[in-house]
Amino acid sequence: MEDQVYLDHIKTVELYRYGWRLSAPVRNLRDTSSLILEFDDLASENTHYTYTLIHCSSDWKPSDLNNTEYLSGLPEGEIRNMRYSRSALQNYKHYRLAFPNSDIQVRLPGNYIIYVYKDFDQEQPVITRRFFMVDPQVQINADIHRTDNINFINTDQEVDFTVTYQRLQPENPSRDFKVTICQNLNWGTAITDLLPKYVQPGELIYNYEEENLFHGGSEFRHFDTKSLQFNSDRVREIYLERPLKHVILRPDLPRAHDRYEFQEDLNGKYLVKWDDAFDSDIEADYVVVHFMLSTPDSIPGTEVYLLGNLTHWKLADSNKCHYNSEHQAYEISLPLKQGYYNYSYATKYGSDEKPDYVGIEGDHYETENDYYIFVYYRDIRERFDRLVGMKIVNSVKLTDN
């Protein structure tokens, strides 16, 4: 199972830990804080939205557990917190859910999906979003650095780490533990099922020269629509073409052969915000944002996509760019809620399942990235993968969980 939105009129889906809108959807199993799901419904009719939580294996397949084994309370709940937009050209309804809550509580650690559906009918999917419940049983010490592999020394970042597990007693550590490494929570480029290079008493060492490499990439591109009263640095033009305002971004250029350039970014995320709003959740408007990637010719045999949290990191038709030979550019237009956004371009060749960011965006070992290390453990007596450790490490600075 994966992050997905099933209906075109559902927009701006966010899932984060309470108190920090840009945080990963991770919670300690014994914590009392909430995770927050928010989304907008642009359809005019009123709909009842219901949700349940699904326990998954380390590779995001539904586990063999019955929901009564990993949930307590009700098997499903209704999203009751709904507010209408105000003073916006685009009418919408804003939904907000805090969970676990008095209706549904989580009993076991692991990977989870929050599954939202219509009118109490699970055959009508609306949203699926990944989140994590951690029961810390291991210690993770990690080091992100420029690789020593001469073939990738100018481009790649190496993720070395050690897992210390004195509190657990695996029969076969290489079999009973699984790890996943994810860069910027982009699951399309995650490394999974990485076996330890060395196994020592109470310790697993993951220190490779190639298997744990990530492209450094480049810092994310950005645009700012928090105010529509003036053109920000990446905005060329703003105009009204009813029913919505349109924002024309300045043309982007391929960066594959450019030198590395540092720029503060959100590592692919976005933040909803209207500068003049008292409550951006229901007062920020939707605008049509026009993107343009200038290239003299189209790239043969290749599809170009706009990726980031704004498009759920998905290679989907809805965020595929189309080449305009008159403008000599790949173009795409998306309705997006006002705010500050990161994005990047990626290509897909033929039947390739993974996107290629390097061909357009470039590749640099200096780039600032967040790395999420997830450690799972399956006791031979159990039928599910426990998430027993999670660590966030930044490639250039210390990052706390």
Sorting pLDDT into bands at 50, 70 and 90, what band is 350? confident
Whether the predicted pLDDT of 44 surpasses 80: yes
Q: What is the pLDDT of residue 301?
A: 86
Domains of the chain in start order, with CATH, are 4-134 (2.60.40), 139-216+366-394 (2.60.40), 221-355 (2.60.40)
pTM of the model: 0.94
- CA-based angle 160:24:372, to the nearest 5? 10
Whether the predicted pLDDT of 399 surpasses 60: no
* Contact present, 387 and 30 (Cβ < 8 Å): no
Which regions of 258-319 does DSSP assign to beta strands (E)? 270-272, 286-294, 302-307
- Within 10 Å of residue 259's Cβ, how many Cβ atoms? 8
* Contact present, 13 and 35 (Cβ < 8 Å): no
Whether the predicted pLDDT of 354 surpasses 90: no
Question: Exposure of 252 by Cβ count < 10 A (0-12 exposed, 13-18 middle, 19+ buried)?
Answer: buried
Report the distance separating Cα 292 and Cα 81, nearest Å: 38
SS3 call for 3: coil
Q: Among 388, 389, 385, which Cα is nearest to 58's?
A: 385
Q: How confident is the model over 60-118, as pLDDT tens digits? A: 999 999 999 999 999 999 999 999 999 999 999 999 999 999 999 999 999 999 999 99
173: left (phi over 0), alpha (psi -120 to 50) or beta: alpha
| Residues 6 or more apart in contact with residue 214 via CB below 8 angstroms | 156, 157, 159, 181, 183, 189, 191, 369, 371
Whether the predicted pLDDT of 261 surpasses 70: yes
Sorting pLDDT into bands at 50, 70 and 90, what band is 398? low
Whether the predicted pLDDT of 14 surpasses 60: yes
Q: What is the pLDDT of residue 18?
A: 96
**Can you tell me the mean pLDDT for 211-234?**
95
Q: What is the pLDDT of residue 1?
A: 87
SS3 call for 309: helix
Q: What is the pLDDT of residue 401?
A: 56
Question: Exposure of 227 by Cβ count < 10 A (0-12 exposed, 13-18 middle, 19+ buried)?
Answer: middle
**Can you tell me the mean pLDDT for 290-309?**
95
Q: How many residues does the chain have?
A: 401
Report the distance separating Cα 175 and Cα 188, nearest Å: 24
Within the chain, how many helices (H) and strands (E) appear?
A: 4, 30
Cα-based distances in Å from 150 to 88, 146, 153, 154, 209: 54, 10, 5, 8, 10
| Residues 6 or more apart in contact with residue 177 via CB below 8 angstroms | 163, 165, 170, 196, 204, 375, 376, 377
How confident is the prediction for the chain on average, in pLDDT?
95
Print the SS3 string covering 166-214: CCCCCCCHHHHEEEEEEECCCHHHCEECCCCCEEECCEEEECCCCCCEE
DSSP string, 29-55: TT----EEEEEEE--SS---EEEEEEE
